[in-house]
Structure 1
């Protein structure tokens, strides 16, 4: 999940991002296409970009080149569709690279995705960090974001997983055209929504979803891993920032209704003043429009029936939440660390505790890494956890590689 401030800032797309949105979206290539979108020739240039974006530059070694990839994947119903993502390659003489996949946090607007929001270092900084450390790095935009079409299926782990896996395959093809072979090992990370996506991808790779790639290590950051048991109940308390709680619950209900038909009419779950909020959450409205139509609290958003649906989910909604929460219900065979900042006011820390307990119940002891707190970027703990964790993860992945 991303902060209130970040949603506002993310809508201020640069001209570069606007071009990226317009040009390739209509394409449906049978093989992936790549478009150069930025180059930072030297380590010093990378340092400057990351430092300006509040990332530390301690693991940087190389300049990097950024590409937008357009590739084929499947939608939530298994139908072919087009997606986009970011590929970042180090500028060096290596012909074999290991890959890092980094999945971004919540976005409400399709212009707020790594391969199109080139000027937003919060979105591109993780991939730049890993590539400058010597990895190939990919960052999926997810379905419906970036050059994708239609609404984004928020917190839908199956499509987050498939979009991430298909981006890895596309990156392998594109890198090979440049004489670079992507090795089998994939180091997987992600922030907030992307933390669940990272665990979904790692699980799929362990289960043999691709004949080439395998997960070498996993490092999710500040995820909502226990939506039903932890995150949803927390949104009804002061533990989650009130206005953000309303936006996220509206996004969850709207997205899951599109996928799973969980209510008959929006007026059954949303109050009269906000019955149309789902129309704003179709990925075509900038964040400022979404926020203008969002309530100041959960109480102002939900009818009694909507509140009951969230706190006592039944049938299809309960099944969908079980699927989302299953990202910690497997036994990883690779190194795994969970990263957090204490006092997270969006993806509350209880999610990480629950995730660690789920792994422990399956015989896997997973360390939790407290990265401290940095609110200097946006004023919130949650977002700072990405800025603090990514350099640490880059060091860890480099040591493992």
Structure 2
């Protein structure tokens, strides 16, 4: 056995949600910032919640830590924000958006805090439909919805809310205003941050005189595709929350067959293979212990600086400039062979990630995927649909003809809104 390969450690810890997606940061939008938008304001959550609040704020997560207003738009200003990125025909209301910090748990189950974007419509409705929007791969902590006004995730959340819905868009653990590193794709931390985010959003909405509907419409892009299915399963099958129930599922561009995705990255058959695989390797090493030192996996001169590039404080441009796009130039061949043909614990963990669709949702499911996606092939959507069908679930793939990975989410969201509208009427 090659001596370098002999040094590589086997993975340990919980099964991992793959979520390795095609974008290292949300797609930026060219959007105007209305001069009439109100200035951000900050208010800390009171230590003593009302009796109604205490029913929502339970000790295992979701307790509010702080709330900061980050945007306040009329319907016309929402349209201006979305113009050039998302269709605006469905905008009905103005919105107010907040960065909400709340208590949750990390990949080890230890207490921590996380941030999210909560957006409420300026409608007269007291009871609001609830959307959980789960973002794609993000390496730079400031590129999430609660921090970056121009991120596609921020704009998607504004659009959902402008239709009259309340939106919870978690940044996940270790991104945004949350401490520590991001345990990229870890299922335990992903589900905790998402469900606890819903709890925190409910508490905040209640204090604002609004109530969130019990049935949650869950959607997400790229890494958020498998996350959508895992959060849905947690709500339906695992009793993740006493109040919230699953209403509908609409993943977009998700890498549901992680084993195949990583093998494709190792073989340089997808766009930016080396970057994706580098984020995957460094994140899994921090969380599960994949290797001893970076030079066991990465070639010179990249080995010396690759870990630092994925510390959450480097921008996407800095990461791209510091690495090469080709896995064959970035990694040692023996590590690539382990990815192509995983064995032992690594194989077991990857297999666990490959089953995010292997259950039977009792709600409508539509899987959106770009027909021209060269980052996450549309075969991943068919793979998910196959697992759902074998379990007797009603689902269908909506192929977005000609759209690549980045553009697929922009095309999908207006369709998802119509799908959610129809699901709410029949549910």
- TM-score, length-scaled by structure 1: 0.89
Is 1:123 aligned to residue 146 of structure 2?
no
Q: Label 1:8 to 1:338 Cα distance change in 2 as closer, same or farther (>3 A).
A: closer
1:336 aligns with 2:365: yes
Higher helix share: 1
TM-aligned CA deviation for residue 236 of structure 1: 4.2
Task: Mark the runs of 5 or more structure 2 residues left unpaired by the alignment.
Answer: 1-20, 34-38, 45-60
Structure 2 CA distance for aligned equivalents of residues 130 and 71 of structure 1: 22
Shift of residue 2, structure 1, vs aligned partner = 4.3
1:315 Cα deviation from its structure 2 partner: 3.3
CA RMSD of aligned residues (A): 2.4
Q: Is residue 32–residue 174 contact of structure 1 (8 Å, CA) maintained in 2?
A: no
Q: Deviations over 1:67-111 (max 9, x none)?
A: 100000001111100100000100011111110001111111000
Count how many residue pairs are aligned between Structure 1 and Structure 2. Answer: 378
Aligned to 1:221: 252
Q: CA deviation at 1:248?
A: 0.6
Partner deviation per Cα, 1:155-182 (whole Å, 9 max, x = no partner)? 2222111100000000000000010011
Give the whole-Å Cα distance in 1 for the aligned partners of 2:368 and 2:306.
33
* 263, 283, 293: which one aligns with 2:322: 293
Kept in 1, the 8 Å contact 2:268–2:327? The answer is no
In the alignment, the residues of structure 2 paired with residue 322 and residue 126 of structure 1 have an alpha-carbon distance, to the nearest angstrom, of 31
CA distance, structure 2, for counterparts of residue 301 and residue 7 of structure 1: 24
Aligned partner of 2:68 in structure 1 is 35
Superposed displacement of residue 137, structure 1: 0.7
Q: Are 1:321 and 2:350 an aligned pair?
A: yes
**Hey, what's the Cα distance between the residues in 2 that align with 1:131 and 1:182?**
12
C-alpha separation in 2, matches of 1:157 and 1:30: 21
Q: Give SS of 1:184's match.
A: strand
Which of 151, 155, 177 pairs up with 2:207?
177
- In structure 2, the partner of 1:140 is 170
Q: Which of the numbers 240, 243, 251 marks the counterpart of 2:279?
A: 251
SS state at 1:271 partner: coil
Contact kept in structure 2, 1:175 and 1:181, CA below 8 Å: yes
Residues 227 and 345 from structure 1, CA distance in 2 versus in 1: closer, same or farther, beyond 3 angstroms?
same
In structure 2, the residue matched to 1:346 is 375
- In structure 1, C-alpha distance between the alignment counterparts of 2:324 and 2:169, rounded to whole Å: 31
Residue 410 of structure 2, aligned match among 383, 387, 399: 387
For residue 278 of structure 1, what is the aligned residue in structure 2? 307
**Structure 1 residues 64 and 373, CA gap change in structure 2 (3 angstroms):** farther
What's the offset of the Cα at 1:366?
1.8
Deviations 1:88-142 (A, max 9, x none): 100011111110001111111000100010233x121111111111110111101
Native 8 Å contact 1:199 1:220 kept in 2: yes
Structure 1, unaligned runs of 5 or more: 375-380
What is aligned with 1:378? Answer: none
Distance, in Å, in 2 between the alignment partners of 1:330 and 1:386 is 24
CA contact (8 A) 2:23 2:138 kept: no
Tell me the CA shift for residue 23 of structure 1: 11
- 1:151 is aligned to 181
Q: CA deviation at 1:363?
A: 2.0
Query: Aligned residue for 1:362?
Result: 391
Question: Is the partner of 2:71 in helix, strand or coil?
Answer: strand
Report the CA distance between 1:9 and its aligned residue: 5.7
SS of alignment partner, residue 373 of structure 2: coil
**Per-residue CA distance 1:212-252 (angstroms, 9 max, x = gap):** 00110000000011011x212222456411xx211110111
What's the TM-score, normalizing by structure 2? 0.84
**2:76 alignment partner in structure 1:** 44
* Aligned counterparts of 2:247 and 2:199: Cα–Cα separation in 1: 16
Report the Cα offset of residue 273 of structure 1. 2.0
Q: How far has the Cα of 1:34 moved from its partner? A: 1.6
Structure 2 equivalent of residue 398 of structure 1: 421
State the Cα deviation string for residues 278-297 of structure 1 (Å, max 9, x = none): 22112121222211211131
Deviation at 1:373, TM superposition (A): 3.1
Mapped to 1, the partners of 2:401 and 2:95 lie a distance apart of 29
- Contact 2:229/2:249 (CA < 8 Å) preserved in 1? yes
